[in-house]
Protein backbone atom coordinates (compact mmCIF):
# COMPACT_ATOMS: atom_id res chain seq x y z
CA UNK A 1 0.00 0.00 0.00
CA UNK A 2 1.21 3.50 -0.85
CA UNK A 3 0.31 5.80 2.01
CA UNK A 4 -0.37 9.53 2.37
CA UNK A 5 -0.39 10.92 5.93
CA UNK A 6 -3.07 13.56 6.55
CA UNK A 7 -3.13 15.29 9.92
CA UNK A 8 -6.39 16.71 11.24
CA UNK A 9 -8.45 14.42 8.99
CA UNK A 10 -11.35 14.21 11.43
CA UNK A 11 -13.11 17.36 10.19
CA UNK A 12 -13.16 20.29 7.78
CA UNK A 13 -10.44 20.64 5.16
CA UNK A 14 -8.54 17.62 6.46
CA UNK A 15 -11.52 15.32 6.06
CA UNK A 16 -12.21 16.70 2.57
CA UNK A 17 -8.58 16.08 1.56
CA UNK A 18 -8.60 12.54 2.95
CA UNK A 19 -11.89 11.80 1.21
CA UNK A 20 -10.64 12.99 -2.19
CA UNK A 21 -7.43 10.97 -1.88
CA UNK A 22 -9.45 7.84 -1.10
CA UNK A 23 -11.88 8.47 -3.95
CA UNK A 24 -9.03 9.04 -6.39
CA UNK A 25 -7.79 5.56 -5.50
CA UNK A 26 -4.03 5.71 -5.99
CA UNK A 27 -3.09 5.99 -2.32
CA UNK A 28 -4.27 4.92 1.08
CA UNK A 29 -4.69 7.52 3.84
CA UNK A 30 -3.22 7.46 7.33
CA UNK A 31 -5.18 10.04 9.32
CA UNK A 32 -3.76 11.53 12.51
CA UNK A 33 -5.98 13.52 14.87
CA UNK A 34 -7.00 13.73 18.52
CA UNK A 35 -10.55 12.48 18.01
CA UNK A 36 -12.16 9.45 16.45
CA UNK A 37 -15.79 10.38 15.94
CA UNK A 38 -18.44 9.93 13.29
CA UNK A 39 -16.40 11.89 10.74
CA UNK A 40 -13.57 9.37 10.97
CA UNK A 41 -16.02 6.47 10.69
CA UNK A 42 -17.30 7.99 7.44
CA UNK A 43 -13.78 7.83 6.02
CA UNK A 44 -13.35 4.26 7.23
CA UNK A 45 -16.54 3.22 5.46
CA UNK A 46 -15.35 4.92 2.28
CA UNK A 47 -11.76 3.67 2.31
CA UNK A 48 -11.95 0.30 4.05
CA UNK A 49 -8.45 -1.12 4.35
CA UNK A 50 -7.14 1.91 2.46
CA UNK A 51 -7.82 4.13 5.48
CA UNK A 52 -6.18 3.97 8.90
CA UNK A 53 -6.87 6.39 11.75
CA UNK A 54 -4.29 7.02 14.47
CA UNK A 55 -5.47 8.91 17.55
CA UNK A 56 -2.68 11.25 18.59
CA UNK A 57 -2.41 14.70 20.15
CA UNK A 58 0.09 16.73 18.13
CA UNK A 59 0.82 18.91 21.14
CA UNK A 60 2.96 15.96 22.23
CA UNK A 61 6.01 16.74 20.10
CA UNK A 62 8.26 14.41 22.08
CA UNK A 63 6.14 11.36 21.24
CA UNK A 64 6.37 11.68 17.46
CA UNK A 65 9.46 9.47 17.23
CA UNK A 66 7.53 6.63 18.88
CA UNK A 67 4.48 7.37 16.73
CA UNK A 68 6.58 6.83 13.64
CA UNK A 69 8.58 3.81 14.81
CA UNK A 70 5.73 1.94 16.49
CA UNK A 71 2.84 2.76 14.17
CA UNK A 72 3.54 4.68 10.97
CA UNK A 73 6.59 2.70 9.86
CA UNK A 74 4.81 -0.61 10.34
CA UNK A 75 1.95 0.34 8.03
CA UNK A 76 4.06 0.59 4.88
CA UNK A 77 5.85 3.02 2.58
CA UNK A 78 4.98 6.71 2.93
CA UNK A 79 4.59 8.56 -0.37
CA UNK A 80 3.19 11.86 0.90
CA UNK A 81 2.42 14.00 3.90
CA UNK A 82 -0.30 16.65 4.19
CA UNK A 83 0.26 18.86 7.22
CA UNK A 84 -3.26 20.17 7.75
CA UNK A 85 -3.81 20.06 11.51
CA UNK A 86 -3.65 23.44 13.26
CA UNK A 87 -4.74 25.16 16.44
CA UNK A 88 -5.50 28.88 16.57
CA UNK A 89 -4.80 31.22 19.46
CA UNK A 90 -6.45 34.47 18.39
CA UNK A 91 -5.85 37.68 20.31
CA UNK A 92 -4.22 41.07 19.96
CA UNK A 93 -0.51 41.22 20.71
CA UNK A 94 -0.87 43.32 23.86
CA UNK A 95 -2.82 40.43 25.43
CA UNK A 96 -0.25 37.75 24.51
CA UNK A 97 -0.03 34.83 26.94
CA UNK A 98 2.88 32.39 26.86
CA UNK A 99 1.07 29.11 27.52
CA UNK A 100 -1.39 29.18 24.58
CA UNK A 101 1.32 30.65 22.35
CA UNK A 102 3.62 27.74 23.13
CA UNK A 103 0.78 25.25 22.61
CA UNK A 104 0.06 26.74 19.19
CA UNK A 105 3.70 26.55 18.13
CA UNK A 106 3.94 22.95 19.28
CA UNK A 107 0.89 21.92 17.23
CA UNK A 108 1.36 24.18 14.19
CA UNK A 109 5.15 24.21 13.82
CA UNK A 110 7.16 21.79 15.96
CA UNK A 111 5.07 18.67 15.38
CA UNK A 112 4.86 19.16 11.58
CA UNK A 113 8.63 19.67 11.52
CA UNK A 114 9.20 16.44 13.45
CA UNK A 115 6.72 14.52 11.30
CA UNK A 116 8.49 15.85 8.19
CA UNK A 117 11.76 14.56 9.62
CA UNK A 118 10.46 11.00 9.86
CA UNK A 119 8.56 11.18 6.57
CA UNK A 120 11.79 12.17 4.80
CA UNK A 121 13.72 9.40 6.56
CA UNK A 122 11.07 6.92 5.42
CA UNK A 123 11.28 8.20 1.85
CA UNK A 124 15.09 7.93 1.88
CA UNK A 125 14.97 4.42 3.34
CA UNK A 126 12.54 3.24 0.67
CA UNK A 127 14.00 5.35 -2.17
CA UNK A 128 10.62 7.07 -2.55
CA UNK A 129 10.17 10.27 -4.54
CA UNK A 130 7.45 11.83 -2.43
CA UNK A 131 5.52 15.03 -1.88
CA UNK A 132 4.98 17.09 1.27
CA UNK A 133 2.18 19.66 1.37
CA UNK A 134 1.71 22.12 4.22
CA UNK A 135 -1.60 23.96 4.61
CA UNK A 136 -0.69 27.56 5.40
CA UNK A 137 -2.96 30.60 5.73
CA UNK A 138 -3.56 33.87 3.94
CA UNK A 139 -2.99 35.53 7.34
CA UNK A 140 0.75 34.99 6.80
CA UNK A 141 0.59 37.29 3.77
CA UNK A 142 -1.88 40.02 4.73
CA UNK A 143 -2.82 41.42 8.11
CA UNK A 144 -5.89 40.54 10.16
CA UNK A 145 -6.56 41.93 13.61
CA UNK A 146 -5.99 39.29 16.26
CA UNK A 147 -4.18 36.83 13.98
CA UNK A 148 -0.57 38.02 14.25
CA UNK A 149 0.46 35.13 16.51
CA UNK A 150 -1.35 32.48 14.45
CA UNK A 151 0.06 33.98 11.25
CA UNK A 152 3.58 33.70 12.67
CA UNK A 153 3.19 29.92 12.93
CA UNK A 154 2.14 29.71 9.28
CA UNK A 155 4.98 31.99 8.20
CA UNK A 156 7.38 29.69 10.02
CA UNK A 157 6.05 26.59 8.27
CA UNK A 158 6.28 28.28 4.86
CA UNK A 159 9.96 29.10 5.47
CA UNK A 160 10.54 25.53 6.65
CA UNK A 161 8.86 24.12 3.54
CA UNK A 162 10.95 26.21 1.14
CA UNK A 163 14.20 25.10 2.75
CA UNK A 164 13.04 21.47 2.91
CA UNK A 165 12.54 21.62 -0.85
CA UNK A 166 16.09 22.90 -1.36
CA UNK A 167 17.62 20.27 0.93
CA UNK A 168 15.92 17.21 -0.52
CA UNK A 169 14.97 18.03 -4.10
CA UNK A 170 17.92 16.08 -5.47
CA UNK A 171 16.39 12.95 -3.92
CA UNK A 172 13.06 13.54 -5.61
CA UNK A 173 11.33 14.82 -2.45
CA UNK A 174 9.18 17.90 -3.04
CA UNK A 175 7.75 20.32 -0.48
CA UNK A 176 5.11 23.00 -1.11
CA UNK A 177 2.48 25.04 0.69
CA UNK A 178 -1.15 25.65 -0.17
CA UNK A 179 -2.30 29.05 1.08
CA UNK A 180 -6.10 29.15 1.43
CA UNK A 181 -8.12 32.28 1.74
CA UNK A 182 -10.94 32.65 4.25
CA UNK A 183 -13.24 29.62 4.47
CA UNK A 184 -16.16 28.74 6.72
CA UNK A 185 -14.52 26.19 9.02
CA UNK A 186 -14.55 25.39 12.73
CA UNK A 187 -11.84 28.03 13.25
CA UNK A 188 -14.12 30.78 11.91
CA UNK A 189 -17.31 29.61 13.61
CA UNK A 190 -17.20 32.37 16.24
CA UNK A 191 -17.28 35.19 13.66
CA UNK A 192 -20.50 37.05 12.96
CA UNK A 193 -21.95 37.33 9.46
CA UNK A 194 -20.95 41.01 9.44
CA UNK A 195 -17.34 40.14 10.26
CA UNK A 196 -17.27 37.51 7.53
CA UNK A 197 -18.63 39.96 4.98
CA UNK A 198 -15.87 42.45 5.81
CA UNK A 199 -13.31 39.70 5.19
CA UNK A 200 -14.92 38.70 1.89
CA UNK A 201 -14.68 42.29 0.66
CA UNK A 202 -10.91 42.03 0.84
CA UNK A 203 -10.72 39.52 -2.01
CA UNK A 204 -11.28 40.02 -5.72
CA UNK A 205 -14.21 37.61 -5.97
CA UNK A 206 -15.98 39.06 -2.87
CA UNK A 207 -16.86 35.66 -1.41
CA UNK A 208 -15.46 32.85 0.70
CA UNK A 209 -12.82 30.53 -0.71
CA UNK A 210 -14.25 27.25 -2.02
CA UNK A 211 -12.95 24.31 0.00
CA UNK A 212 -13.07 22.15 -3.14
CA UNK A 213 -10.49 24.42 -4.81
CA UNK A 214 -8.15 24.02 -1.85
CA UNK A 215 -8.58 20.24 -1.82
CA UNK A 216 -7.96 19.81 -5.54
CA UNK A 217 -4.82 21.94 -5.31
CA UNK A 218 -3.50 19.67 -2.56
CA UNK A 219 -4.18 16.58 -4.67
CA UNK A 220 -2.44 18.21 -7.63
CA UNK A 221 0.69 18.81 -5.53
CA UNK A 222 0.65 15.21 -4.29
CA UNK A 223 0.44 13.88 -7.84
CA UNK A 224 3.05 13.41 -10.57
CA UNK A 225 1.30 16.17 -12.53
CA UNK A 226 3.15 18.67 -10.33
CA UNK A 227 6.53 16.93 -10.60
CA UNK A 228 8.34 20.20 -11.41
CA UNK A 229 6.74 22.22 -8.61
CA UNK A 230 8.60 22.49 -5.31
CA UNK A 231 9.66 25.12 -2.79
CA UNK A 232 6.67 27.34 -3.47
CA UNK A 233 3.29 28.36 -2.10
CA UNK A 234 0.12 28.29 -4.17
CA UNK A 235 -2.50 30.85 -3.16
CA UNK A 236 -6.09 29.60 -3.32
CA UNK A 237 -7.63 32.75 -1.88
CA UNK A 238 -10.04 34.39 -4.36
CA UNK A 239 -7.41 37.05 -5.02
CA UNK A 240 -7.08 38.33 -1.45
CA UNK A 241 -5.25 41.65 -1.19
212-229 pLDDT, tens digit each: 999 999 999 999 999 999
Q: Residue 71 domain-assigned?
A: yes
- Rounded Cα gap, residues 231 and 214, in angstroms: 18
Q: Which of 89, 118, 150, 200 is catalytic?
A: 150
The CATH number assigned to the domain holding 121 equals: 3.40.50.720
In a domain, 51, yes or no: yes
76 and 122 Cβ atoms separated by less than 8 Å: no
Instruction: Tell me the C-alpha distance between 90 and 167, whole Å.
Output: 33
Kindly state whether residue 241 falls inside one of the protein's structural domains: no
Predicted confidence at residue 118, as pLDDT, reads 98
Domain count for the chain, please give it: 1
The reply to whether 133 falls in a domain is yes
Q: Is residue 90 part of a domain?
A: yes
107 contacts 31 by C-beta, under 8 angstroms: no
Determine the structural domain holding residue 227 and report its residue range: 2-236
Query: What confidence tens digit (pLDDT) does each residue in 196-211 have?
Result: 787 888 889 989 999 9
Tell me the percentage of the chain whose pLDDT exceeds 90.
Answer: 84
In a domain, 187, yes or no: yes
The answer to whether 162 and 217 are in contact (CB under 8 A) is no
- Of 60-64, 175-179, 237-241, minimum mean pLDDT range: 237-241
89 catalytic per annotation: no
Which residue from 134, 146, 135, 136 is spatially nearest to 199, judged by alpha carbons? 146
Residue 113 lies in a domain: yes
Could you tell me which residue, 90 or 192, shows the higher pLDDT?
90
Amino acid sequence: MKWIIVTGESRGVGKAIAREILMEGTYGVIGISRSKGAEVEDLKQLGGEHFVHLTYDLENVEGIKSLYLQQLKRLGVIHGFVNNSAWAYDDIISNLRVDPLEKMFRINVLSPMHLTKYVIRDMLLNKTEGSIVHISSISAHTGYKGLSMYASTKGAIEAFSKNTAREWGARGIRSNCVIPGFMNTAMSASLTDEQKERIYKRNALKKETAMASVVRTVLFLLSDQSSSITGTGIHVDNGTI
